[in-house]
Amino acid sequence: MQESLDPAAIDKQPTQQRARERFDRILLEAEQLLIEQGLSGFSIPVLAERLGYTRGSVYAYFPTPYAILNELVGRYLVQLEAMFYSRSEELRRVGLNQGIRMIVKHAADFHNAHPAARLLILGGAVTDDSYRAQERTNKRLGDLGRMVWYGGAALPAGLPDITTLAADLGTACFRRSYFEHGEITPPYREAAARAMTGFLSAYAQALAAPGSSIRSTTPKPAVQKITRRNP
């Protein structure tokens, strides 16, 4: 995830156990500071004071505040992806409507349970690097959706990447809810599910229509030729 990031926005990952514990403690306190004071109150001097560390000991791992924020965003996005992938077989067994509603519910529950993640992911990217990380995650979630959301039904191939666009639509609903209410409310959760379902269903219906020129990503089963033999 960090192959294209500004070096000043990348943390310095420790290798020794004691250093790793300090690294993780800094991140835990940074998360709490964000919850209490938001981005406007977030700084390395304030963080160091809360931890009882020197500023230099924090800078040793995180050259800038953005390095801390990018690491937190990366960790949240990894958790979100892992949660969806762990349910891929379950989602594969259900239809489009139920599958999307399950994904939207899990995502809403995750954001509502993690206020710092909600701030950093839905409040708008804090750096260009975190923006790119979020877009890459939406792409991977779209790839997951291509595998599981339809439970075996056909999806059109090629551009546009409709499953990633569906993930973008759901995220947009979440962001609007966060902006207006500070959390993902049930009406906006429902709006996300409807937006994603309606968008993908339109493509599925077009694919199934007679004479459709849309190509499917799902291979057609081989037709077995049966030769009748005269008795």
Q: Give the domain ranges of the chain.
A: 7-66, 72-208
Q: Which long-range contacts (CB under 8 A, 24 or more apart) does 98-101 make?
A: 99/148, 99/149, 99/150, 99/151, 100/149, 100/166, 100/193, 100/196, 100/197, 100/200, 101/193, 101/197
Check residue 171 and give its pLDDT.
92
pTM, entire model: 0.76
Superfamily of domain 7-66: Homeodomain-like (1.10.10.60)
Check residue 89 and give its pLDDT.
80
> Could you give the count of Cα atoms lying within 13 Å of 198 in the half-sphere of its Cβ?
8
Q: Assess contact for 203 and 214: CB atoms under 8 A.
A: yes
Check residue 16 and give its pLDDT.
75
Residue 182 neighbours by CB under 8 Å, 6+ apart: none
Q: Which residues of the chain have pLDDT under 50?
A: 1-10, 150-153, 212-231
Check residue 95 and give its pLDDT.
72
Pairwise CA distance, residues 108 & 139, whole Å: 18
The b/e string for 9-32 (b: 16+ C-beta within 10 A; e otherwise) is bbbeeeeeeeeeebbeebbebbbe
Check residue 217 and give its pLDDT.
44
Check residue 202 and give its pLDDT.
84
